[in-house]
Amino acid sequence: MSKVFVNIGLSLDGYMAPEGMTMENPGYKNWGAKWGALMGWLINQQYFRENHMFGSGGETGPVNDLVRSTTERIGANIMGKRMFDQGESAWPEEAPFHTPVYVLTNEKREPWVRPGGTTFYFINDGPERALELVRESAGRRDIRIAGGADVIQQYLNLGVVDELEIALAPVFFGGGRRLFENLREPGPQFRIDKVLDGPHATHLRYVRQ
């Protein structure tokens, strides 16, 4: 069976996104610079640049290989409405997923087909139903819970997350959306599987016990 995994960047003080991060308010508390500091390591990787048509060049090596292997294992993505809303106005016409994407939302909307293999499906029946549908789409490949924090917390509380892949960047946000809030007791149990040191982030993989 395919695995369910989380793959995100995280600030040193535990935030996935800085406070006020919206495309409508780009100057709020300098969130753009904070986000750039969090995810700059990824944007510089050769595979990421090529896969997102940012042009040639970029860093190669173990971190680049990690980005490639993570991307190639994904058969489908799940995300929340807030993440989709921000991306809808920012993603290029060829959205950067190249897989089916299931959006948890209360909004009823027909599937949104984009060039390059990405189709967004809008699910109104909760996280369990979304996971059932995404398993069918992913086949033997794995399922990425893309975010945001609330969606990740829902799947952690359901006990279905098999792996956590966290790129921990040495940046402080001081506020925003924390990754590990609203978790039920007893919390999920993971063990350390792999640690990869990079110049701009430490890449941590945890697997469920």
DSSP assignment letter at 180: S
Q: State the pLDDT at residue 27.
A: 67
Percentage of the chain surpassing pLDDT 90?
78
- At 73, the pLDDT band (50, 70, 90 cuts) reads very high
C-alpha to C-alpha distance for 72 and 68, rounded to whole angstroms: 6
- At 1, the pLDDT band (50, 70, 90 cuts) reads confident
Q: Domains (ranges, CATH) in the chain?
A: 4-208 (3.40.430.10)
3 state SS of 13: coil
Mean per-residue pLDDT over the chain, rounded = 93
Alpha helix ranges (H) inside 44-193: 46-51, 62-73, 81-88, 126-138, 149-158
Least confident of 52-56, 58-62, 109-113: 52-56
Buried b / exposed e over 172-200, threshold 16 CB at 10 Å, is: ebeebbbbeeeeeeeebebeeeeeeebeb
Q: State the pLDDT at residue 140.
A: 93
The number of residues making up the chain comes to 209
The pLDDT of residue 115 is above 70: yes
Q: Which two tokens stand for residue 121?
A: 């499906």
Spatial contact of 12 and 168, defined as CB atoms under 8 Å apart: yes
Dihedrals phi, psi of 182, to nearest 5 degrees: 60, 30
The helix or strand, by DSSP H or E, that contains position 10, with its residue range, turns out to be strand 4-11
pLDDT in tens, 147-176: 999 999 999 999 999 999 999 999 999 999
- At 50, the pLDDT band (50, 70, 90 cuts) reads confident
Q: State the pLDDT at residue 188.
A: 85
The pLDDT of residue 24 is above 80: no
Q: Which two tokens stand for residue 122?
A: 């809008």
